Structure 1
Amino acid sequence: MLTPQNPANNRTVLSVAELNRQAKRLLESEFPNVWIEGELSNFSQPSSGHWYFSLKDASAQVRCAMFRGSNLRLRFQPQAGQKVVIRAKLSLYEARGDYQLIAEYMEPAGAGDLARAFEELKAKLSLEGLFDPAIKQALPEHPKHIAVITSPTGAAIRDILTVLKRRHAGIRVTILPVAVQGNEAAGQIAKAIATANHLAASEQASFDVILLGRGGGSQEDLWAFNEEIVARAIAASELPLVSAVGHETDFTIADFCADLRAATPSAAAELLSPDLSEQIATLAGYQQWLISFMQQRLKQQQQQLGWLSSRLRHPGSRLAEQQQRLDELDIRLQQAWQKNRNHNSHRADLLRIRLQACQPLSLINGLRQHSLNLLKQLKQLHAQQLQRQQQQLKSTMQRLHTVSPLATLERGYSILSDQRGQVINKIEQVQAGQQLEAKLSNGRLSCVVADVGK
């Protein structure tokens, strides 16, 4: 609020609150959105859920606040001494006049570079087909030996062993210890995957599947599982491989290359281990069903045995019955034989009578006479046909002679032709002195044209 103290000097005097308010408005309007990198210090997290800390570098520091609504969206837990990048607006805490930053987003320093590297490698390997579902291997339904590649001292291995012991203590577990973060981690993980495959292929170990995992952490902590050497080792694995890296919201390149991704190491152990108690309950159910089935089957067999026993007769009576049956069949056979003999005898008599009625000699004589008649008819038809054809030929020859040029020649005409044999029928075809030939009815004449005129 403006309070004129000395009208003569025309001064404007501000209250402390007004000064801080105007400074706050000025800072927030001039610096609404800035990105700042620095090291966390004096980090505190009261029960309200807000975070208060300082961001410093080698020569300066600034106080910061990050309210609960913003920090709940972060995927990592900041720690004092950690280098981070924040997006914030510049402000001022009016009550104390403290200059401060209100952080809206925070990420570990270098996280942007890591994210770009992650996406570039993911796109490259996807283009090569390392994530193709068609190459994924099926997991064994009842694994007997699991190779676990993880840190031997982390919480992940304790969770895995606890779950496996609870669900199926009979599954054998071999731990291939590796570093799960740091510069050496990626190489050790890739080597462990290759070692597990070599031991299984050479039958030095009976591994059914590989479980690769570690607990949660920041993107930098999980970066070993985003290295290309690890991705290619997973893709080259002949053994099925389950990836269980970090928490449910964490995704790594290893997850995309693996045959199956589990949300956590514990979840991976659940997936790979059949529940022994469920199997025991299932077997108990099968056992009860088998007992009931066998009891019912035994009862049926006992009933059938009783029925067969009631039908069982003494062999002597059965033999006498069969003997009687045999005598009956013998009598029926004799009767049938005699009946058949009589029938055949009667049939033979009939055939003999029919044979006598059809003597072959009379049949042959009849056929011979028929053949002679046919031959006579054939000769008559042939003579008639020949006579008709002769008459037809004679008539045709007469008609042909009538139109023949020879008949014309006999009436005093001739046919002229040149030396090439071409018939002369026009005066334009000859010239004086040309030698021609004239064909007469009984010979030929050679002629020379003395004169040509019309």
Structure 2
Amino acid sequence: MPAPADNVLTPSQLNALARSLLEDAFPLVQVEGEIGNLARPASGHIYLTLKDARAQVRCALFKPKSQWLNFQPRDGLRVLARGRLTLYEARGDYQLILDSLEEAGEGALRRAFEQLKAKLQAEGLFDAERKRPLPAWVRRLGVLTSPSGAAVRDVLSVLARRFPLLEVEVLPVPVQGATAAAQITSMLQRADASGRFDALLLTRGGGSLEDLWAFNDEALARAIAASGVPVVSAVGHETDFTLADFAADLRAPTPSVAAELLVPERGDLAARLRTLQQRLQSQHLRRLRDAMQRADRAALRLNAMRPQARLQQLHARQQVAMQRLSSAFRAQEERRRARLRHAEAVLRAMAPGRRLAMLRERLAMLQPRPQAAIVRHLQRDALRLRGLARSLEAVSPLATVARGYAILQHEDGRVVRATGDAQAGDRLDARLADGTLRVRVEGSS
């Protein structure tokens, strides 16, 4: 086999060069088209073609990215694919290696919705502190909706059943289409500026994200937030959320629930009116009783202030005062008489003649008492003296001396009680019963 010339490439080299050129020129692309030839082998990869009316391109979504899809791909479904353009060298076909796959239209709208929601939320447009409370009683309500839709029929039916006295004005606007958002915003601003409504209800029935897209308009959300009249939003079903719901002062899950939130139930209102009527009657009766009691007290005071009644009161007070004065005079007279009787008794007791007689009797009674006392004292002292004499005599040394003994004493009066108390040559006095002998000590034995 002849060797290839220098400018001749093999299919592999050509495919490799084409692959390099494709990947360098198209690092990341987004393609919107319809799914065809969908294949999901056991490996978990997804193979498909994206096509339009004139062309198609092969695509591959490898595992595990294929497991992250939030929808079920199927043939004929329009999707938005994002990936890298490359060449499958084995067949010489270029293809897209996908990083993500989402439904077209719905997915784009969802991304735009989330981006705008994040922007308005960062500005504080959805903060709870900004929202206005609904009035306690809505007297006039403006309903912004399609006049031919099912939502307006549901709202009017609930309002007529619950509170027929409410004045409702339907403000017709388109709720779907390219110009719907601008017309809704304009009607909302005019209704707010008119000052005719206590609250505004923005509502429509359910639908897809594309059907509800007019209520995700930035200008409409800002108009709702800037409205001076409280706005209630009831767009779609309970699971549908729009920017109008977030910007509104109150979001209701359905149009019927919004009507129930805006007005009280007729039966509850009638019961409350009956309760208020009973309270009013009770207060009226209580005030009437209080007024009658005040009138009775005023009549009594007027009757008491008549001249005749006043004179009768003064006469009664005079009678009472006279009785008290008479009683006081009698009590005072009785006290004076008692003091006089006491003074007379004291004077009689202290008369000089009687006093002298009493003193004489007392003197006669006291005269024999000193003599008898003196005799008794002398007898008692004599007995005591004899007892003391006997005691002294029993312990007196003179009694011992009288029995034949003598008391030896030095010249200075010291008593000799033992032989050692006297020395040879000492002069001693020997006291006897009838006198004293002077002796000299010759010695001791």
For normalisation by structure 1, the TM-score amounts to 0.47
Give the greater-gyration-radius structure (CA). 2
